[in-house]
């Protein structure tokens, strides 16, 4: 009789895994290497970078990414649970980010603030909306940036890169 239980237990486990996958079905996995396509991107009044690339590891509820722009790399780890966390600090300036899902889009709301209160113009704020194309080969980031001189929008397009393949014998 125990041999009949194994297929039943396996079937129940597969059904549970299928239900969990369907729950997460609307949330894409951003893992991969993504290189900016400057011709398809719109930068608003900001200067376009010479190059930009994301290397993203999206495991369960955590995204860790290295963002390289013009040879400068920043590492950020986010959890889309709608909790605000400090994600970067340079000198007296900190960046605080809140991430959450809206359907199939990952939304990052970020703001800069000084460690010590200062007078003058408020730091920059922005909202980024990340989405993948249906074939999962194009990452589009729509960003609205609020600066002391006024708001502007960007559309940044990144194309998924093929992973480097190892040469046999190495």
Q: Hey, what CATH topology would domain 27-160 get?
A: Lipocalin (2.40.128)
- Per residue in 38-91, pLDDT (tens digit) is 999 999 999 999 999 999 999 999 999 999 999 999 999 999 999 999 999 988
For the chain, what are the domain ranges? 27-160
- Segment 142-168 mean pLDDT: 88
Q: What is the pLDDT of residue 122?
A: 72
Cβ neighbors of 122 (< 8 A, separation 6 or more) are 148
Cα torsion for 36, 106, 162, 54, to the nearest 10°?
Answer: 50
pTM, entire model: 0.79
Question: What sign results for the dihedral spanned by CA atoms 40, 46, 52, 54?
Answer: negative
Task: Grade residue 167 by pLDDT with cuts at 50, 70 and 90.
Answer: low
């Amino acid at each position: 009789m125990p041999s009949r239980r194994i297929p039943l237990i396996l079937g129940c486990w597969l059904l549970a895994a299928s239900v969990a996958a369907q729950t997460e079905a609307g949330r894409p996995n951003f893992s991969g290497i993504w290189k900016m396509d400057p011709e398809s991107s719109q930068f608003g009044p900001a200067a376009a970078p010479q190059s930009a690339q994301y290397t993203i590891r999206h495991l369960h509820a955590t995204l860790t990414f290295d963002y390289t722009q013009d040879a400068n790399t920043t590492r950020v780890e986010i959890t889309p649970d709608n909790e605000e966390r400090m994600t970067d600090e340079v000198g007296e300036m900190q960046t605080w980010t809140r991430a959450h899902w809206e359907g199939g889009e990952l939304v990052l709301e970020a703001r800069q603030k000084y460690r010590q209160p200062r007078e003058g113009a408020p730091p920059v704020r922005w909202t980024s909306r990340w989405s993948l194309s249906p074939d999962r080969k194009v990452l589009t980031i729509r960003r609205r940036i609020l600066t002391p001189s006024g708001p502007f929008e960007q559309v940044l397009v990144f194309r998924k890169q093929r992973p480097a393949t190892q040469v046999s014998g190495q």
